[in-house]
Amino acid sequence: MAMPQRKKLEGNGLWESSRMILPEHRKAMNDYDKESKRRSRISLDEQEWEDISRDVSESMAMRQQITLRMYHPFEELTIVGVVDRVDQLKKRFMVDGEWFDIKDIEGASINS
């Protein structure tokens, strides 16, 4: 019984039949995959910024633990700790000895 022949350009046949991919093509495909998973920044309104500011101030003043949702282009980032300092001039804040940009905050809540 004769096996049916596949056409090279059918479906994804061209890539499937290739045993070798040029490094430039592999890099382009990997770059495309990475960029397609990029998160975009969310826009917060004035009320949300006031709520975040209040929670950050309360964490610093009362030494209460806070959970901050932060922007990162490729993953969901959460910071849990106590706010040690806020540097208004450089627009950053410190949690447990590490500095973070204020503009990267997407949400905050005080842990009870």
What domains can you pick out in the chain, each with its CATH number?
46-110 (2.30.30)
pLDDT given for residue 58 in this prediction: 95
Q: How many residues does the chain have?
A: 112
**Burial zone of 31 (CB within 10 Å; 0-12 exposed, 13-18 middle, 19+ buried):** exposed
Dist CA 24 CA 104 (whole Å): 34
pLDDT given for residue 92 in this prediction: 96
Average pLDDT value over all residues in the chain:
86
pLDDT given for residue 26 in this prediction: 87
pLDDT given for residue 42 in this prediction: 87
Dist CA 86 CA 66 (whole Å): 14
Check pLDDT > 60 for residue 103.
yes
Q: Which of 91, 108, 92 is nearest to 100 (CA)?
A: 92
pLDDT given for residue 55 in this prediction: 96
Taking residues 43-48, report their average pLDDT. Answer: 94
pLDDT given for residue 68 in this prediction: 96
Taking residues 39-44, report their average pLDDT. Answer: 87
Q: Which of 104, 93, 88 is nearest to 59 (CA)?
A: 93
Going by pLDDT thresholds of 50, 70 and 90, the confidence category of residue 37 is confident
Strand partners, 105: 70
H/E element, 13: helix 13-17
